[in-house]
Amino acid sequence: MEPAAAPGPERLFDAHRFPTDGFLLLALLLYAPVGLCLLVLRVFIGVHVFLVSCALPDSVVRRFIVRVMCSVLGLLVRQSDPRLRGAGARVFIANHITPFDHNVVSLLTSCNTPALSGAPGFICWSRGFMELGVTGSRAELVDSLKEYSAQQGNPPLLLFPEEAATNGRAGLLRFSSWPFSILDEVQPVALQVRRPLVAVSVADSSWITELLWTFFVPFTVYQVRWMPSVPRRVDEQVEDFALRVQELLAMELGVVSTRITAADRTEHMKRLRHTARLPFAPALSQSPAARPRVPPSLPGGAPEDVRVAAMAQQVKEVLPHVPLEVIRTDLVQTNCVDTTIANLLEGRVPFFPESKEAGDLPAPSTSQAAAASGIQGSVAAPSSKPATKQFAKSPVERHLSLQERKRALYDYARRRFAEKHGAARAGGSP
């Protein structure tokens, strides 16, 4: 079963490559000249490694030579329980950390990883992916992989059911079920990666960038642990089979098996990019009297608490009837003023409206009071309109009425937010 305190997306992915510790950052700056020299040297060596891997046929000798040459590039590959490697299994299931996980496993045993994204061609082939020529649905992909696995002369498949890379420290993404519908027996492979000075991988970073950082750092250690094969139970659903393998792999790695999907990761990264573009800086550039006050519960609090308090104050100015604690709680989850306002307006966050504003908030001015009465009128008008008329018989009419009220709330919230912060910027400008 999944633990109650499952990690959030912010713990599964690294958004920044450089360390926050001052000592490590100083060590990275001192190492930078050496790292740049290694980068240039390893680029030329990497070209020779690529040519050797292309010239030699797939065999134990080729894997040994390329593995030794990769150690010069700083890629150190270690494995445990090699006797379990390829013990009759035709499908390997591994967690995903870096863009080169499939290359590392192929240094230890013969296997193929199908290309699931990206344009086919030389780049796809040079990265070590297998092109199937399937551009349709996942059902067509599964059928093609079943046909591939049915041929005994083909190497085993190496699949990553997470479908997105994590930092490998906190948890596993929810496994997709399609890799477990190919065959009734799979072999889990646990991957762990570590390197000094910088993060192992950064979300939304290209494989070229990750390759250059791999050449820059002194070394990157890949630990591969082979686990016993796991057969599918009788009458076991594919989703249950995937969940069971995910739990086994999480226990082997000492991390949490989460229900966060690759789509959740994409939404999390979009939210981070949106938050980075939000104008939080004006709150720091305003005069002390114009800055949002930090609640007494956060005296001299951490910068994160101050930032959340500033965003909560902005939402409170737009929606004064919403309790401040409800706003703060949702902001911790969304980290976005616009998203929190939308959640409150659409009813995704339940709350009890305040009859009057809290005492620690500044008293509203005459214009704010007029605006507050305006929103009450604008909200009451559409909400009271159906009451004076007959209840709409058609679901379409009722849906349109609800959408009109939502649209009115959205328009007022955007207008008030723009007027409030537009006036603040105009007052702060010389």
pLDDT in tens, 81-97: 888 876 678 999 999 99
Could you say which DSSP state residue 112 is in? B
Length of the chain: 430
Q: Does position 8 have pLDDT exceeding 90, yes or no?
A: no
For residue 111, give the nearest of 64, 45, 158 by alpha carbon.
Answer: 158
Angle between helices 303-318 and 324-334 (to 10 degrees): 120
pLDDT in tens, 102-152: 999 999 999 999 988 766 678 888 888 888 776 667 788 888 999 998 888
pLDDT in tens, 33-71: 999 999 999 999 999 999 999 999 888 999 999 999 999
Q: pLDDT value at position 6?
A: 65
Which DSSP helix (H) or strand (E) runs through 135?
none
Asked if 20 and 14 count as a contact pair (C-beta separation under 8 A), the reply is: no
Question: Long-range contacts: 345-349, Cβ < 8 Å, 24+?
Answer: 345/319, 345/406, 345/409, 345/410, 345/413, 346/406
Higher pLDDT, 381 or 207: 207
**Torsion angle in degrees (nearest 10) through CA of 319, 322, 324, 326:** -120
DSSP H helix total and E strand total for the chain: 15, 10
Q: How confident is the model at residue 423 (pLDDT cuts 50, 70, 90)?
A: low
Six-digit token string for 169: 């420290």
Q: Are strands 129-130 and 113-114 parallel, antiparallel or unpaired?
A: parallel
pTM for the model? 0.64
CA distance 180 to 174: 13
Q: pLDDT value at position 304?
A: 60
**Helix ranges (DSSP H) in 217-336:** 238-253, 262-277, 282-285, 303-318, 324-334
Mark 99-111 as b/e (b = at least 16 C-beta within 10 Å). Answer: bbbbbbbbbbbbb
pLDDT in tens, 167-177: 888 899 999 99
CB atoms within 10 A of CB 296: 7
Asked if 265 and 12 count as a contact pair (C-beta separation under 8 A), the reply is: yes
Q: What percent of the chain lies above the pLDDT cut of 90?
A: 38
Q: pLDDT value at position 365?
A: 40
CA distance 252 to 94: 12
pLDDT in tens, 237-264: 999 999 999 999 999 999 999 988 888 8
Q: pLDDT value at position 350?
A: 80
Q: pLDDT value at position 328?
A: 84
pLDDT in tens, 386-419: 444 444 555 545 445 556 666 666 677 777 766 6
pLDDT in tens, 295-338: 444 444 455 677 788 888 888 887 888 888 888 888 887 777 77
Q: pLDDT value at position 45?
A: 94
CB atoms within 10 A of CB 389: 9
For residue 74, give the nearest of 113, 124, 34, 128 by alpha carbon.
Answer: 34
Q: pLDDT value at position 307?
A: 79
Asked if 80 and 226 count as a contact pair (C-beta separation under 8 A), the reply is: yes
Q: pLDDT value at position 405?
A: 62
Asked if 170 and 7 count as a contact pair (C-beta separation under 8 A), the reply is: yes
Q: Does position 98 have pLDDT exceeding 60, yes or no?
A: yes
Phi, psi of 293 (to 5 degrees): -80, 145
Average pLDDT over residues 276-302: 44
Q: How confident is the model at residue 430 (pLDDT cuts 50, 70, 90)?
A: very low
Q: pLDDT value at position 337?
A: 79
Concatenated DSSP letters of 359-395 = TTSPPP-HHHHHHHHHHHHHHHHHHHHHHHSPPPSSH
Q: pLDDT value at position 358?
A: 41
pLDDT, the chain, mean: 78
3-class secondary structure, 231 = strand
CA 121 → CA 124, 125, 127, 148, 389, distances in Å? Answer: 5, 6, 10, 20, 64
